């Protein structure tokens, strides 16, 4: 896929890195020359120096053929405009906006942005130690279909320990696509998989089943 990332700060950097590793064609648009140099030198990413809110910069970036545009600047108003212009002027099929003020999530949804990512929660997910006990961290939410990607850490007293996943009564509209063990081993779980304490679990769940999932894993 051709993915344009607008904003080459921390979020943009790690995002681009992951996307490149996954084999995508990535272009980063960043205003500051210094950040552009870092991105090029360290990631080998294609970088376009310029204001990603400017229509001319977007055109130069080949936004018309982008499959996804991800706006991750530090300013919510810029991210909104980038996504709206990408969608309406360049007909980009999928636009994703980072939001800083959590209250803006509802507004962005109302103004036609499909996917919003709360930077606060994204950062939380990267610093695993600070994930609060007994809590689901929302990585992102697909509002239109009411589905969330959440992350959690299995506590030492979890009632789910040592039992096969298929016996836990996980609702049909909730799946666990990934378990990370010991911070490095990625396990794609199936029915026989048994969770261990401290496992990081990524779950895809309907909003309705979040509470059930919480109960199953935290007791």
Binding positions for other proteins, rule: CB under 8 A = 53-56, 75-78, 80-81, 84-85, 88-89, 101, 103-104, 107, 110-111
C-alpha 18/C-alpha 123 separation (Å) is: 15
Task: Name the minimum Å distance from CB 33 to other proteins.
Answer: 22
Contact in structure between 106 and 77 (CB atoms under 8 Å): no
Bridge partners, residue 147, by sequence: 142, 206
Question: Which run of H or E residues covers position 28?
Answer: strand 25-30
Contact in structure between 213 and 136 (CB atoms under 8 Å): yes
Task: Name the minimum Å distance from CB 111 to other proteins.
Answer: 5
Task: Name the minimum Å distance from CB 104 to other proteins.
Answer: 8
Taking the least distance from each CB to other proteins, the nearer of 107 and 204 is 107
Collapsing DSSP states into helix, strand and coil, what is residue 169?
A: coil
Taking the least distance from each CB to other proteins, the nearer of 33 and 55 is 55
Maximum alpha-carbon separation in the chain: 57
Taking the least distance from each CB to other proteins, the nearer of 18 and 101 is 101
Taking the least distance from each CB to other proteins, the nearer of 71 and 174 is 71
Collapsing DSSP states into helix, strand and coil, what is residue 118?
A: strand
Task: Name the minimum Å distance from CB 151 to other proteins.
Answer: 28
Taking the least distance from each CB to other proteins, the nearer of 58 and 115 is 58
Taking the least distance from each CB to other proteins, the nearer of 84 and 135 is 84
C-alpha 25/C-alpha 16 separation (Å) is: 10
Task: Name the minimum Å distance from CB 61 to other proteins.
Answer: 15
Task: Name the minimum Å distance from CB 39 to other proteins.
Answer: 23
How distant, in Å, are the alpha carbons of 19, 24, 104, 165 from that of 190? 26, 28, 37, 7
Helices (H), 102-171: 104-110, 119-126
């Amino acid at each position: 896929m051709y993915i344009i990332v607008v904003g080459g700060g921390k979020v943009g950097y790690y995002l681009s890195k992951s996307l490149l590793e996954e084999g995508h064609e990535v272009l980063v648009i960043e205003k500051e020359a210094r950040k552009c140099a870092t991105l090029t030198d360290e990631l080998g990413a294609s970088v376009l120096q310029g204001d990603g809110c400017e229509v001319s910069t977007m055109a130069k970036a080949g936004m018309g053929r982008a499959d996804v545009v991800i706006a991750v600047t530090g300013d919510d108003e810029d991210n909104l405009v980038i996504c709206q212009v990408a969608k309406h002027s360049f007909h980009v099929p999928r636009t994703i906006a980072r939001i800083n003020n959590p209250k803006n999530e509802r507004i962005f949804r109302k103004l036609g942005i499909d996917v919003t990512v709360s930077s606060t929660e994204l950062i939380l997910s990267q610093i695993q130690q600070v994930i609060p006990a007994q809590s689901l961290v929302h990585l992102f939410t697909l509002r239109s279909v009411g589905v969330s990607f959440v992350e959690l850490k299995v506590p030492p007293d979890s009632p789910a320990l040592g039992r096969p996943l298929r016996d836990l009564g996980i609702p049909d509209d909730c799946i666990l696509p990934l378990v990370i063990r010991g911070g490095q081993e990625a396990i794609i779980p199936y029915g026989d998989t048994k969770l261990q304490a401290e496992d990081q679990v990524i779950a895809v769940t309907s909003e309705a089943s979040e509470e059930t999932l919480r109960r199953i894993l935290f007791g």
